[in-house]
Structure 1
Amino acid sequence: MNAVVAADDDTELIRHGRYLTQIAGCNDCHTPGYAMSGGQVPDSNWLTGDSLGWRGPWGTTYPSNLRLTMQSLTEDQWLSLARNTQYRPPMPWFALRDMSDQDLRAIYHFIRQQGPAGQPAPAYVPPDQEPQGPYVQFPAPPQ
């Protein structure tokens, strides 16, 4: 394969990954202010995690900084993580599990090409502890 064809393939893969992060809702949680601004956040701030917690019976979770996470993973590690990890709510881990390898690879390459940015998200807070910053409170499930 020549360099021009490889570059075109990479460009298409990254474009598809960008598209998927938008339509799959990745930015809604993993990009600060994205949902509240109707998606009007510069790409340079995308997927840097958030300090807004999501609290429910599972405790309080925070959207991770995917820009930092992807820098430490190989493509194969990402595929394994996406297929096999069951995250706490509200992360829709089952959506990752059900994506095609091609889609997961595209997301990986898009996030990697964005480069590292931002800080790690706050650590998980168990259900019996009060989170320090702002959070969204999920109602208890129906009995």
Structure 2
Amino acid sequence: MRTIYIVIAAAIWLTCAANTQKQARKGLKTTEVLRHESPQADLVKRGEYLVTIMGCADCHSPKKLGPQGPVPDMERFLSGFDSAQPLGAYDKNVVKTGQWVIFNAQNTAFAGPWGVSFAANLTPDDTGIGTWTFEQFNLAMRKGKFKGIQANRPLLPPMPWQNYTKMSSADMKAIFVYLKSLKPVPNVVPAHLPPGQI
């Protein structure tokens, strides 16, 4: 009888030991995965999520025709108004009345009472935000200053910078880190055209 108790106890002990080892291996694998996920990678993922739900590509990416209509051209993703394309003609009298705002077919150029504004290149190329510091980006997003320089003109419509003034510092940083991780796209976006020049 005593032998049976010893065998049962040994079986229970071996089962518990095997389960403990399984759990330890699972924990080790989780730890190994976490070690490969750097804080920078986490910021990039968070930034990509924010840029996506904020609709930044709606205005800052040239478009191409997809099965369900225009979609961002991923080869020129977030590179702003395509400077290789002509602006195109539009009825300037309609815009001058202040009752209409006109967007180009790419949704990257905008005519209104302020003149014509062009979506900026947000890629890390030198023609985009490649030389920008986080402080510049933060100033542009929170204070609406062109190129993130205090003495510059305000950002023009339809850029909704006012919506981002209360964004957390962590989210602002994540967006900046994500934008800096993108493929640089050389594209010099034209300067704003004041109302008298359109």
* CA deviation profile, 1:96-130 (whole Å, cap 9, x unmatched): 22221111111100110114213121211111222
TM-score (norm 1): 0.76
Q: Percent identity?
A: 30
SS in 2 for 1:54: strand
Among 17, 20, 23, the alignment partner of 2:53 is 23
Give the match for residue 73 of structure 2: 41
The letter for the 1-side match of 2:167 is M
What's the TM-score once normalised by structure 2's chain length? 0.56
CA 1:109/1:90 → structure 2, altered by over 3 Å: closer, same or farther? same
What residue is the counterpart of 1:90 in the other structure?
158
What SS does structure 1 have at the residue aligned with 2:62?
Answer: coil
Query: Contact 1:28–1:34 (CA<8 Å) still a contact in 2?
Result: no
2:197 to 129, 134, 140: 129
Q: Return the match for 1:60 from 102, 116, 130.
A: 116
Note if contact 1:29-1:35 (Cα within 8 Å) is conserved in structure 2. no
1:111 aligns with 2:179: yes
Q: Cα–Cα, structure 1 residues 38 and 84, in superposed 2: closer, same or farther, change >3 Å?
A: same
CA separation in 1, counterparts of 2:65 and 2:134?
A: 28
CA distance in 2, matches of 1:45, 1:39: 11
The equivalent position to 1:10 in structure 2, one of 34, 40, 53, is 40
Unaligned runs of 5+ in 1: 131-143
Partners of 2:48 and 2:64 lie apart in 1 by: 14
Q: 1:116 to 1:5 in 2, by over 3 A?
A: same
The Cα of 1:35 is off from its aligned counterpart by 9.6
Q: Which residue matches 1:141?
A: none
Shift of 1:38: 5.6
CA deviations 1:67-101 (Å, max 9, x no partner) are 14321111222222221224111110112222211
**Contact 1:71–1:115 (CA under 8 A) maintained in structure 2:** no
Q: Aligned partners of 2:110 and 2:65: how far apart in 1? A: 15
Larger RCO of the pair (alpha carbons < 8 Å, separation 6+): 1
Larger Rg: 2
Q: Distance in 2 between matches of 1:84 and 1:46?
A: 25
Shift of 1:7: 5.1
Q: What residue identity is the alignment partner of 1:56?
A: G
CA offset digits 1:23-73 (Å, max 9, x no partner): 10111000111798464532x421101144200001100001011432111
